[in-house]
Structure 1
Amino acid sequence: MGREYRCRIQGGPDRDAIRQLREGIRLDGQVSRFERIRHQGGRGANRWYEVVVCEGRYREIRRMWSAVGCRVNRLIRTRYGDLVLPRSLKAGQLRELNRAEVKALLRSVDVSHSGRRSSASSA
């Protein structure tokens, strides 16, 4: 399930760094990569990027940027799977999902309403 983030990066990565982030960087014996990375502008020493990762392991995004010589000074999750997180939702806040969002989330992970994965996904 993809997780989308906006990252404010101090120091602009070069083309080789972007290529490494797309192809994969070894962290703790596992390869981590951005499924998508898009430059979103910025001024001075800071640049904004939109990135998508599939897993989201401990500080994975910050460690990936650090591996190519860049520092993350702001990280904002904007989407989790098909759920777009509203800008008004502050860090640490939560809100209850409506029925349509719950159904969409269950469909995206192929879970029946009983809470079990469907037989097609467990085979």
Structure 2
Amino acid sequence: MERLQKVIARAGIASRRKAEELIKEGKVRVNGKVVTELGTKVTPSDKVEVNGIPIEKEEPVYFLLYKPRGVISSVSDDKGRKVVTDFFPEVKERIFPIGRLDYDTSGLLLLTNDGEFANLLMHPRNEIEKVYVAKVKGIPLREKLKKLEKGIWLDDGKTAPAKVKLLSADKKKQTAIIEITIHEGRNRQVRRMFEAIGHEVIKLKRERYGFLTMNGLKAGEARELTPHEVKQLRAAALNSSQKNS
């Protein structure tokens, strides 16, 4: 038997926290009866409905996509723009991105139908490292990069300390290539961090997520994660969570 919110999350309907809200709001039925108790457990044979729609118990799937620029990190877009799920026409499961990359940012993005797994990886306490390479206007002084390393104030609070490395500088074009490692996932965070020290990001790419890289993939290509990779990601997030709790 499994907790009801976990079953809803795994079906890709919502995160576990959102599933708990749906249960408390009386929007979930088990075998035709409304259930509002969060401790409720169900078996695989129980019929679960959310907002009157039966959930399909999909097998969890996990993918790594090299997201190109000019693509929305969503499952749909009301303006008709290309979305990340368009790269998975053969996948029948209802997959969604874990976190997001901006429209103009390329790089490594994970997709799954496992809401619990997605929630685990996205929680800031779990400190999954994300490595980005940014091309910025101007050549930042070492003192400015140190500000990013210590954490910098943005309009939504101070960032956690980052690892920053100047990879190259073009004095003629007055641009620099910088590698930055963060573990948070705020909206447009890397771009805003560089703007805060006076250097606009021209181009941004996420090169690594935890231990995962895009080796062997071209923009728009994807591969399925191995069971071992999924296990490693889950273990890394849980270990980090325990250290920070």
Q: Under a length normalisation based on structure 1, what TM-score does the superposition of the two structures give?
A: 0.79
| Residue of structure 2 equivalent to 1:10 | 137
1:102 aligns with 2:230: yes
Deviation at 1:95? 2.4
2:25 is the counterpart of 1:25: no
Q: Secondary structure at the match of 2:202?
A: strand
Q: How does 1:16-55 map to 2 (within 5 A)?
A: 16-43=143-170, 44-55=173-184
Deviation at 1:12, TM superposition (A): 0.8
Cα offset, 1:33, TM superposition: 4.3
Q: Which residue of 1 is the match for residue 206 of structure 2?
A: 77
Match of 2:207, SS state, is: strand
Residue 87 of structure 1 and its aligned partner are, at CA, apart by 6.2
Identity among equivalent pairs (%): 31
Q: For residue 16 of structure 1, report the CA deviation from its aligned partner.
A: 2.1
Instruction: Give 1:51 deviation, angstroms.
Output: 0.5
What RMSD over aligned residues (CA atoms) do the two structures have, in Å?
A: 2.4
Flag structure 2 segments of 5+ consecutive residues without an equivalent. Answer: 1-127
* Corresponding residue of 2:52: none
Q: Whose Rg is larger?
A: 2
1-side partners of 2:227 and 2:203: how far apart?
Answer: 32
Q: Deviations over 1:55-76 (max 9, x none)?
A: 0210011011011110111111
* Aligned residue identity for 1:64: M
Matches within 5 A, 1:107-118: 107-110=235-238
The separation in 1 between residues aligned to 2:236 and 2:179, in whole angstroms, is: 22
Which of 1 and 2 has higher RCO (CA within 8 Å, sep 6+)?
A: 1
Structure 2 residue corresponding to 1:64, chosen from 187, 193, 209: 193
Give 3-state SS (helix, strand or coil) of 2:238's partner.
Answer: coil
Deviation at residue 100 of structure 1 after TM alignment: 2.2
Give the whole-Å Cα distance in 2 for the aligned partners of 1:28 and 1:58: 11
Q: Distance in 2 between matches of 1:107 and 1:98?
A: 14
Look up the equivalent residue of 2:167 and give its one-letter code. Answer: Q
Q: What is the CA distance between 1:93 and its match in structure 2?
A: 4.7
Number of equivalences? 114
Amino acid at match of 1:98: T
Aligned to 1:114: none
Closer, same or farther: CA 53–11 of 1 in aligned 2, 3 Å = same
Q: Which moved more, 1:69-78 or 1:21-30?
A: 21-30
d(CA) in 2 for partners of 1:58, 1:87: 28
